[in-house]
Amino acid sequence: MAENDRGHQNPTFTMDETDKKSNEESRCVEITREIKKRSKWNNEIEFLMSCIAISIGFGNIWRFPFTAYENGGGVFLIPYIIVLFLVGKPIYYMEIILGQFSSSSSINVWNISPGFSGIGWSQFYCNTALMTYYSSLMALTLFFLIASFSAELPWAKCREEWLDYCIDSSHQIDNNTSNITSFVQLLNEKERRSSAELYFLKVVLQEKDSIDDGIGLPSWKLTLCLLVSWISVILITSQGVKSSGKASYFLAIFPYIILFSLLIRAVTLDGAATGILFFVTPKWSKLFEPSVWYAAITQCFFSLSVCFGPILTYSSHNDFKHNLYRDVLIVTTLDTFTSFIAGCTIFGILGNLAHKMGLEDISKVVKSGVGLAFVSYPDAIAKFNVVPQLFAVLFFVMMFVLGVGSIVGMVSGLAHSLKEKLPNVQIWKIVLCICSMSFAASTIYVTPVRGGQFLLNLVDYYGTSFVVFFVASFEITAIMWVYELIVTFTYTLKLKRSIIFLQTGIENFLNDVEFMLDRKTGSYWRICWFLVTPLILLFIFFYTFATLQLLTYGKKEYPISAHAAGIVVSCLGIFQIPFWMIVKLLKNRNLPLSKFGFFFVEYKKVFSANLAMGAKGYRAQKGLASIQRGEREAEKSQKEAKMGSIDTHFD
């Protein structure tokens, strides 16, 4: 990146100084023109609001509460906060720095080390997979939102065809022993289900029991909801950050208004305290289980949206001297706070649900996965005595807005990455193309095979959760260990000195950060980037392989063909990294041999920063100004020298 600023000594050039100066000036002019074409945020607040909108999403409202519940309740907060500080925040900060310094999206940013450009394509792949199934959750949310405007919530009562195995979700009991006993017996009889659960499975998802029955045609109602969701995303992202930045205020702030309204309502309900205590009470035996730490890292990645590309892309539209350190602290702190508040809200309402059902064990009313948002919560809302429709509308409006905010960031990440590859194509055309293809791909998740949830679970596990660890491990290794390391290595060889790696990737990276932010990076960031974060990711990576188990959907097992398809999905994401590394090496196979060997020449070229990379705009403009200032000073010196020689002559 800032190789001239960090004090690198470059090899001797064969060109004369005049040609060198001319080429350098031409390059600065070219980069300056390029950066002026790149769209910028209207102001600094838009960037902050956009980061909040993409980071605060489904992962905070429904994924965090049930993940915490499944991994020890309150004790899960301990590994989560530790992982947040040792993995989440360092990677988040690193990605924002990379984007802002390079003024490039998640693919072109790897001009800093072209051999690792496959990391950008892997992120592109994961982002696409995540975006398609996130949109199906938006469709479910919109379906429930529309249904919430009914005179009576449609999931509050059992339908006639369910009477043999259904219990009304609106059913409440008196708090006396006989009623509680009879209700519990009714729950256990014939494995009865609530009308909210049956509404979700039979009406909304129209599920089939197995993928062996075929996926079937998409539900037309959910497909319409899916279409509306994608249209809303297109409208917001059609002009790039200029339009999405304006929408970010609403997408970031409005969900908090509803969340705090629901929290106030939740804590005033009977049984809410019991539910919240159930959420925060630690199960200490879970603390030392590796699976809990694995879940914490997964949750951290999904919650902060790191290693998928959008955060890096958003920061690439900042001014070069923007104070991103402040934004990192705000977003990461707010993200954790939101997850905790959402957990208290959800479990407070579930505590009330258990109270009205006469159950002491709250775990019996908690559904995992999407069931928490689309079964447990609607079931609890149906038992509200006062305007349950209002609280249903509030909840699903909040969920829909959160979904839009997340997908807007994902689409922006993809669109601007492609825009850099296709500079002559207007951004709205790229957005329209991405959203159209994503809509078509998303329809598979609204098919009757478990309402697409069977497939969603498969893609989530093989296409994102597993691949993102691989991507994160390579990303931080490429920057903190390899970045411009070979420049120093070949230079020491040319001087015939001892082969000592005095300047590793992190030293170069820290010099770049100091050049950009005019401040030194603290020891906490240095230690995490260089040692702690890579080691934790490496441990989790090997742990995942060692404890890998076949995926299940509830109590049902996937067929072997589904696992085979899932492995192919994983390989498509993972193999992007070695594939593009080989491509870059092959492109440089005709480099001339040196006495140090062909390997080292190739290696230097493929893993060294591109000459046009780093501090685009700011550095180029400063460089051009510096060249022009140097020329003026040289002319001034020549005139002074000439005048001095004239004076000497007369003397």
What tens digit of pLDDT does each residue of 169-217 get? 776 655 544 444 444 555 555 567 788 888 988 888 887 665 566 677 8
pLDDT at 628 over 80: no
Percent of the chain with pLDDT over 90: 31
Is 323 a known ligand-binding residue?
no
Q: Please provide residue 170's backbone torsions phi and psi, each rounded to the nearest 5 degrees.
A: -80, -5
What tens digit of pLDDT does each residue of 374-398 get? 888 888 888 888 888 999 999 999 9
Residues 76, 303 contacting (CB under 8 angstroms): no
The SS3 assignment for 426 reads coil
pLDDT attached to residue 257: 94
The residue type found at 169 is S
Is 150 a known ligand-binding residue?
no
Between CA 352 and CA 375 the distance in angstroms is: 15
pLDDT attached to residue 491: 45
DSSP collapsed to 3 states, 203-220: HHCCCECCHHHCCCCCCH
Q: How many CA atoms lie within 13 A of 227 on its CB side?
A: 7
Q: Specify the DSSP element, H or E, that contains 638.
A: helix 618-650
* pLDDT, average across residues 547-552: 76
pLDDT at 487 over 60: no
pLDDT attached to residue 449: 64
pLDDT averaged over every residue in the chain: 80
Q: How many CA atoms lie within 13 A of 83 on its CB side?
A: 25
Q: Report how far Cα 375 is from the mean position of its chain's Cα atoms.
A: 26
pLDDT attached to residue 411: 95
Mean pLDDT check: name the lowest of 157-166, 270-279, 391-400: 157-166
Between CA 141 and CA 374 the distance in angstroms is: 8
More confident: 418 or 539: 418
pLDDT attached to residue 282: 81
Between CA 481 and CA 107 the distance in angstroms is: 19
Would you place residue 615 in the very low, low, confident or very high pLDDT band (cuts 50, 70, 90)? very low
Checking 201-205 for CB contacts under 8 A at 24+ apart, the result is 201/451, 202/162, 203/154, 204/140, 204/143, 204/144, 204/374, 204/451, 205/448, 205/450, 205/451, 205/452, 205/453
pLDDT attached to residue 455: 84
Between CA 164 and CA 180 the distance in angstroms is: 20
Is 60 a known ligand-binding residue?
yes
Would you place residue 417 in the very low, low, confident or very high pLDDT band (cuts 50, 70, 90)? very high
Closest by CA to 99, choosing from 417, 433, 562, is 417
Distances (CA, A) of 207 to 187, 377, 449: 23, 20, 5
| Intra-chain end-to-end CA distance of the chain, in Å | 52
Percent of the chain with pLDDT over 70: 76
Q: What's the CATH fold of domain 33-172+190-588?
A: Amino acid/polyamine transporter I (1.20.1740)
Close Cβ partners of 177 (under 8 Å, ≥ 6 residues apart): none
Mean pLDDT check: name the lowest of 444-448, 500-504, 522-526, 566-570: 500-504
* pLDDT, average across residues 241-268: 92
pLDDT attached to residue 610: 59
Q: What is the DSSP letter of 8?
A: P
Residues 410, 308 contacting (CB under 8 angstroms): yes
Provide the residue ranges of all domains of the chain, joining segments of one domain with +. 33-172+190-588, 598-643
pLDDT attached to residue 171: 67
The residue type found at 358 is G
Q: Considering Cα of 549, then 551, then 556, then 557, what sign does the dihedral take?
A: negative
Is 608 a known ligand-binding residue?
no
Close Cβ partners of 127 (under 8 Å, ≥ 6 residues apart): 106, 308, 309, 310, 410, 413, 414
